[in-house]
Structures are given as C-alpha cells and as structure tokens.
Amino acid sequence: MLSRTIITGMSEWHPNDQDSDEDPHDGAGLTVQESKPKLKQPPRYKVLLLNDDFTPMEFVVHVLEAIFGMSREKATQIMLHVHTRGVGVCGVFTRDIAETKVAQVKDHAHANQHPLMCTMEEA
C-alpha cells in the first residue's frame, strides 16, 4: 500500500510502501511554478569634468573624444558646457567604469601637464 502525505500542494512518497501499483512519480498533486530571479540594476555614477582657467579647450575636446568615445561635435558641446557652467557630465556608468574613466582623465591630463580635474557622483 502506498502512503502519501500532502504538504502544501505537493505529495510525498515513502519508498517503504511498495505494495501498490501506483506510480510515485505520476505528478498527482504536484504543481511546478517557474520563477525568474529579480535582478537589481547596479547603481550608476555620473562622471563630471570640472572647468579650470589653464587647460586648453582643444585638450578637453581631445580627452572627451579619446576617453569617452565622443564625436568631435558632441565633445565640443560638452567642453563649451563645462567652460560656461563650470562643470559638465561626460557620461553615466557603473561604478567600476566611472572610476576607471576618472583615473584615465586625471592620468592623461597629468601626463600632458594640464590641471584638468574629473570626478564622479552617484546619479
């Protein structure tokens, strides 16, 4: 004889009960529900370029093209925004990428003897 216990909609088969012709794996009373994991988006960070009175505008455009992959037109727009407002957003990235971009800008500016500053903040 087969002994089954219903536990929250699922059946449990006991192997010592082998006197029955019932298939313990027939799926009776068993409900399968697929669940998709909910993924949380990582926090995003704005990379900010700060204006100064010494770094040439052409160098800023070069940095925006080389490090952020901007077109000349987009880089010029961002450079003018930084020049007139004191600060401008170069892009929004995950933390690791934002940190890398900030370091690249600072290293490139230092290597070319310019005081250009770059920072990041949570978006």
Rounded distance between C-alpha atoms, residue 9 and residue 11, angstroms: 7
Rounded distance between C-alpha atoms, residue 101 and residue 94, angstroms: 11
Rounded distance between C-alpha atoms, residue 8 and residue 5, angstroms: 10
With cut-offs at 50, 70 and 90, classify the pLDDT of residue 90: very high
Mean pLDDT of 88-92: 98
Q: Over 80: is that where the pLDDT of 5 sits?
A: no
Q: Over 60: is that where the pLDDT of 10 sits?
A: no
Residue ranges of domains in the chain: 1-37, 44-122
Residue 114's Cα: distance from chain center in Å? 31
85-108 burial by CB neighbour count: b if 16+ within 10 A, else e?
Answer: eeebebbebeeeebeebbebbeeb
pLDDT at 36: 87
Helices and strands in the chain: count of H runs, count of E runs: 3, 5
**Rounded to two decimals, what is the model's pTM?**
0.70
Q: What is the architecture, at CATH level 2, of domain 44-122?
A: 2-Layer Sandwich (3.30)
Q: Over 80: is that where the pLDDT of 108 sits?
A: yes
User: Strand, coil or helix: what is 28?
Assistant: coil
Helices (H), 1-123: 57-68, 72-85, 95-111
Residue 60 Cα distances to 45, 49, 86, 117, angstroms = 20, 9, 13, 10
Task: Give pLDDT tens digits for 15-62.
Answer: 555 555 555 566 667 777 888 889 999 999 999 999 999 999 999 999
Task: Give pLDDT tens digits for 61-75.
Answer: 999 999 999 999 999
